[in-house]
Structure 1
Amino acid sequence: MPLNSTIFNPNGQHQILGRQEFNVRNQPETKMAGPSPERFQRALTSFKRSLSTRSPDLLNQFSFSSIQDLQTACHEIQSEMGQNGRLRRMRRLQGFIEAMEQLGQSIEVFVNANDLVCFIWIAKTHVKSFDKLLDAYEEIGRRIPGLMAYRSMFERHPPLATVLEDYYSDILRFHEAALKVFTRPTWKKLVEAAWKTFDTEFQPLLQSLANRRDLLESEKGSASLYEISKAREEMAARHEAKKQELRQDEVEKRKWHLLQIKNQLEAADYQQDQEMAAEARNETNSGDWVLQSPAFQYWADKADTRHSVLYIHGIPGAALETYQQSFIVVDGLDEAASGEATKSITWLLSLVNGRIREPTASVRVLFSGQRDGSLDSLLSDQPAIALDSSSGHSRDILKYCEHMSARIRQRLDIASTMEDEIISKVSSRANGMFLYARVVLDNLLAQVRLCDLNRELEPDTFPQGIDQAYERVAIRILKEAPPSAHQYASKILGWVTCAARPLRWREIQSIFCIDSESNTMDYEDKRLRVSCKQLCGSLVDVHQVLYGQPGPDDIVTIVHGSAREYLIQKHWINSVLEHAKAAMFCFRYLTSKPFRASTESISLHIKEGYYGFQDYAIQHCLDHFESCTGLESHQDILEQTMESAREFLATYSLPIPENLAALSHNDIADFFRQLPKDKRERANRFTIEYRTLDIRTAIEQIRVQDLSPEAKALISNVYGKEVRYKCPKIWSMTALFAAQREAVSPFN
């Protein structure tokens, strides 16, 4: 049977050795329908159209040849590659060639197949691709049985011979997939990516060929025509379903990658950051001296068209974030990963130093960050403003001290001399650190007796630095406070310190009110009746989200990264233990009965507020579990955490691990450790997304119902005051949308 071989020569052009084309002649009708000549011709026409679409000249470049011509060409290629030291085992083609020869002879029983198409594409100039092609042809040859052994059976049972049409179509699909690789102009540069795409289509084709071989072998004796036809249809359906599944998976992956790219390219919404920074400015003119300084005025002069750079720096806690006014502002580079700050600064400086040559364009870059040595050396020749050593910054701290001391005097009815003492002590020991002044003054303001205030001002007690300032607050709220207040403050600080994202006040309230053992949420009896600041003092920040008034959506964060480090290093907080407690709470909560309830029961649990913590728990339970390694010294907590993790797997894992009940704690930890890091892929290993969507939908529906004032108040306090629709994908960002559902999902 004549075959065709296209060879890629060193100059990149196709060298055509031969082609054999299929012509159809009219066949007499048979009593039992066999292979259809029209279907062969239709498959070939579709393939030719694919050729001409990719390159108008590609189809015309083929000429007729025989199998002998192909074998001769293979020997020539082998000889040429041997001379170049790239010898390859060409015998891998033998099985494919024999299979094609027998396919042609089998088809001739029913139609005129003297000109059967078989294109062999060989990239002889790219050894890796050449080997992949030879392997592919070898795999195809293995999966096509010796068809001549079935020739008599094909003649006796023509419907069975329709499998030849499928073989023919599969071979054409294979070559069409190969065309996608080798007709790309840059295929040699992109060969790895191209072959991945090729493999996606090649594997289902191999499975299809193997299924057809099994079908023929199973029916070689006495074939039941009905069963053969039915099996063939089922096989085709499975093959199509597999292809559809692969296509759908590719579509989902593409959407995910596009979403990731979009998130990377889109500018972040800094509105909330701006509001939180603005809240920290108690005096309206705080920081104005920076804007009025000559260095800033020179940098911000819009009438000047030159590029410029300004470096604002200070010590940790100098309140750098409140001074960001810019065209391009880069803040926090001192916190970037190793090497990233240098790359970013170097690139931005290259823009300023001539990379942008547009005469009408000007770039203004403002860097702000803590001095760490590396930033100073990179920006040493740029204009700079040092916050901590500037007289304007010192005046701002003094004004802040005066403002807070006046509040202390008003609250505790102290003498003006004590007020002046407070101003003097705090401003002199702040040393340019706004954070120190804030923590100390907040702690003084929180005192409830004059004797307590006097004790805090004593020389042996008054803090000398930020760590001692934190210590005074920690002692007050974690040691000297009543047991219940101490317990609540410790619990809040444990969560806030280790939370995977900033927590809402309503979420913290839910932690106190949910009892997963009794499957209840008692909001009225168990919610905290005092504010987070009253319990945790100046160790936390509370940002009021709605209209500047306290509310359930307020965001609670640790006051500064240095406060988190202090609490952990001084053992006020055991981060590993807190992560374990958080993971255990989330696992028990998510496996409690309300998450397996009927629709009617879900509505009841919604109205009592039980699902107020589900968004955080679903997204971050595994994050906490991964962070609680090293619990050996707390065997009781370790045991409880691992058992709650086992129950979580039994409830939601896809599939449930074998012998789950018998797995050791190390086995459970290994199972979680081997989960994909990508949150989208990890979410696909669990069924919890479906339950989440049902509950979220029910919450949205209940919120628009005609509820009593009491029920509305509870719903608002637990789920938030505004109706916000959420992306149904649990691996997606936790951003909420005050919009219609159709606009929420990134997959619409």
Structure 2
Amino acid sequence: MSLKARVSLDAQRVIKESFQDLERTLSINDRVSLDGTTLDDVREAIVQVQDGLKARGVYRNMRRLMPLLTGLQYYSQAIEVLCNGTPYLPWVWAPIKLVLNIASEYVEAFEKIIKAYSRIAEPLARFEMFDRAFAGNKDVQQTLAVFYSDILSFHKEAYQFVRRSGWRLLFLTSWGRFQRKFDGIIEDLKAHEDLVDKTTNAVNITEAREMWDKLKLWREESQTRLAKDEAERTVAQYRAVVGWLNFDDSNQHKVFDTIASEAQKSPGTCSWILQQRQVQAWLRCNSEMTFVVLQGGPGTGKSVLASQIVNFLRSSEQSLVISHFCTYSYEESLDYEQILRSILIQLIRPNTDLVAHVYDTLVLKKRVPTIQVLEGLLRDVFGAGSSKSEYIHLVLDGLDECHKSAQPRIVKILERLVSAAFSSGSTICKVLLFSRAAQVGPKKGNSKRTICLSDEKNSMTQSIEQYAALRLAELRPRLAQMRIDDADMKRLEAQIASKADGMFLWARLVLEHLENNMFFRREEILRVTDALPQELGAFYRQILANSTTRFSELSIQRARSILGWIAFAERPLRKAEFRSALAFSSGNPDVDELPPPYLFDMCKPLVEERSDSTFAFIHVSVKE
């Protein structure tokens, strides 16, 4: 029987998949460094590391690893038949050299890693007495392949632990998780050590196969249980961190959903921003364009554009996406400290090690999360890096809505986070900031880039024209009664887009004016853009004047009360809350009836009811 015929394909598959899994984990340079590494190379490297530690006055007994190398030598002879013609075999020992060289820079971690590696020697000792005649037994090969898989899993965990740039920072808080993984691998190795003996005994071949099936099931259950325990531990720590920070992101979700829904009502009107040259460069996962400021006047749709960029990034799943939307509707969203908390929570949420680190730093040590503590934590976790390249896209909208004193602090911390990530050597953080203010743009010699919506007139005009076409299509039955044909519709769309001068909000107000007013003649429709103010403030005043012309003094007071509650409430009020607030605004505690809901309709279009039944101005500029 040929050697090829005696090789278990299932065993080879396990070995190949284990090799490829570790290969994907290693950096290109580290993969190259492992090629051709012999056991003697590893022994020599261990001696060199020991000499280096001794020279630093931190001598460590490296002879503890010799039984491991001996065991690997005997094991390699047993598995050689499964690795013929492949690069798989040297990877059983080669990563040890790499891991020890890196870990030797931090003695406390080095000691723990040596102890972990030395534990592999015990289950490998069995192979010193292994009869190589059994190497062609397919049942034995299955067990040998599991050994290979476990050893490479051990290397992978050790490599990931020491290769991330911030591993010293995370060592104390993340070692426990790695220790539990190491323990599981060692336990699996010991279980399969007994299986080797039973499989090589022809008398117990049936018993060995039964044991193999049980071990396979136990292995799967053990891995599932470990993953579940780790997930539950991380969730508990994450919740504790959120509680310690007293952070609630539900309002951010509401803000984002409200803004994103505006784009969904007018599909395609925002897609141009994803084709904009500088935005495309920022979106790419590379080190170019790490800090971009997108500037635009009030009502130009910056927030909607921001939401579309965030949605695009999240759907691509190429990077970690962090977003924060500053809005007057939720006062806490404008607070500098809350912005720091928002960024921190989103950064650590998908990362078990970072959750553990922040949990230990804040919760276990009972540290008050002051601004200084939060800034330091953010710099640390952004600089922690990873064993592989990672990208973070951070989008912050509405900087101009924050207090003027907070704006430069926000810009400064974002710049520092970009620098901290870059210094890690493995993480790139790219910031996109939306604002009106020109002062956040690049200074001389600054790496920030600026995109001005005023320079994107063609795209903005086409987008507004498309928006107008969608809204006018809804009014077509009414407009047709005044002999407005397709040519008139096109003309009106172009007029609105041209007069809007990049302001989506102005176009929206014009279209709502068309929807909510009475027109007799075709000419009135076609001249509507000439009859309305082009400046937003004047437009608001005209809308307000038209709405209140026939109001009594009492009605005007009530309208002011509605607008005042919207402008100065700490958060948007729901309809029931709003009606109660209006009822008690007079100061009379004996209220037996709430104001009717139709009152809110009389404040349109400056006031709108959102999908969550809260009320807000159509734009922050109304409040201003």
Of Structure 1 and Structure 2, the greater helix share is in 2
Query: TM > 0.5 between the two?
Result: no
Q: TM-score, length-normalised on structure 2?
A: 0.37
Q: TM-score, length-normalised on structure 1?
A: 0.31
